[in-house]
Amino acid sequence: MYKRLKATFDKMKIDYEIIFVNDNSPDHSEEIILDITRKDRRVIGISHSRNFGSQAAFRSGLEISTKNACVLLDGDLQDPPELIEKFVEKWREGYDVVYGSRVKRQAPFYMQLAYKLFYRIFDYFSYLRIPHDAGDFSLIDRCVVTAILQFQERDFFLRGVRAYVGFKQTGVDYLRPERLFGKTTNSFFKNIDWAKKGILSYSYTPLSILSFVGVLLFFMSICLAILQVALRLLVPDIAPKGTTTVLLAILFFGSINLFALAILGEYIAKIFEEVKQRPHFVRKSIIRGGESRSIQKDT
């Protein structure tokens, strides 16, 4: 990754810095970063005390960045560093945010379908529109970085925040290949949780649906009650009888109540997470010039 980034920046002949965020990787990434910083003073490393997730890692790097624009890039090289050259071209044309738009990805068919479905569902539910098939890989101008860092929410959904702040944005199409090395810790259920995070962070529609369903069922209950009384009085022979009707009604309304409580629980859990005001991440050390300096010792 370092070699491809350096080759890209040298080809472009621009001033740059590379910030590697080691989010408590279980391999020997920290030692490799130490060695790279010893040879190249433009490289900086950050080590977290534990794994806080990709969104926290991006924020950690953004906070110490110093250049006029930042590029966010995952370490598995699924997003090609060479595309940065096109990002910079668009940035120089006047765009504040340039994101990579995946026209196609090399992944199992069901995952491709799930990703595409997420963006369409997000558009339907959310009051915010995010670009379809655009991940975190992007170039962000310094003014946008400053705006993004003002967001203090703990459940940080970067591509949602990036769209929320506005500014002039555009996309660059590219083919996203499979990861070149290592084994992903991602899974279908983790992606479901990721989608849920994005939708609940930028949508009140589930609550609105519950309100609508509640009102609809209330009027349906009144109508059914009137119908039941009318049938008992007018044609008692065909009126519903026995415990089956009651049991089905209880099961139906009970399942609706449980579903409603589950959605409310998700929103309450988000409130619970936000009010604790825990830090987004904890840095263990900063790596510069081949030296790892402990944050705790420096403070």
* Residue 7, domain CATH: 3.90.550
Please tell me whether residues 117 and 241 are part of one structural domain.
no
Question: Is-contact 48 31, C-beta < 8 A?
Answer: no
Please tell me whether residues 257 and 127 are part of one structural domain.
no
Please tell me whether residues 216 and 102 are part of one structural domain.
no
Please tell me whether residues 290 and 270 are part of one structural domain.
no
Please tell me whether residues 184 and 220 are part of one structural domain.
no
Is 230 domain-assigned?
yes
Between CA 105 and CA 2 the distance in angstroms is 23
Is 217 domain-assigned?
yes
Query: Which helix (H) or strand (E) is 294 found in, with range?
Result: strand 291-294
Please tell me whether residues 284 and 267 are part of one structural domain.
no
Please tell me whether residues 237 and 268 are part of one structural domain.
yes
Is 113 domain-assigned?
yes
- pLDDT class for 111, splitting at 50, 70, 90? low
213: containing domain: 205-275
Is 133 domain-assigned?
yes
Please tell me whether residues 109 and 159 are part of one structural domain.
yes
Number of domains the chain contains: 2
pTM: 0.66
| Chain length of the chain | 299
Residue 186: pLDDT over 60: no
Please tell me whether residues 266 and 174 are part of one structural domain.
no
pLDDT tens digit sequence for 58-93: 888 888 888 889 999 888 788 888 888 888 888 888
Highest mean pLDDT (candidates 37-46, 96-105, 125-134): 37-46
Please tell me whether residues 122 and 23 are part of one structural domain.
yes
For residues 18-41, average pLDDT: 85
Highest mean pLDDT (candidates 123-132, 191-200, 253-262): 253-262
Between CA 274 and CA 287 the distance in angstroms is 30
How far CA 256 is from CA of 66, 70, 214, 226, 241, in Å, comes to 52, 47, 9, 22, 23
Nearest to 88 by CA among 167, 163, 172: 172
Torsion angles phi and psi, residue 100, rounded to 5: -80, 130
What's the pLDDT score for residue 298?
A: 46
DSSP E strand boundaries for 87-246: 97-105, 134-141, 169-176
**What are the beta bridge partners of residue 47?**
22, 285
Please tell me whether residues 144 and 230 are part of one structural domain.
no
Please tell me whether residues 120 and 251 are part of one structural domain.
no
Is 74 domain-assigned?
yes
Between CA 176 and CA 189 the distance in angstroms is 21
What's the pLDDT score for residue 25?
A: 81
Is 68 domain-assigned?
yes
Residue 106: pLDDT over 80: no
- pLDDT class for 135, splitting at 50, 70, 90? confident
Is 199 domain-assigned?
no
Is 198 domain-assigned?
no
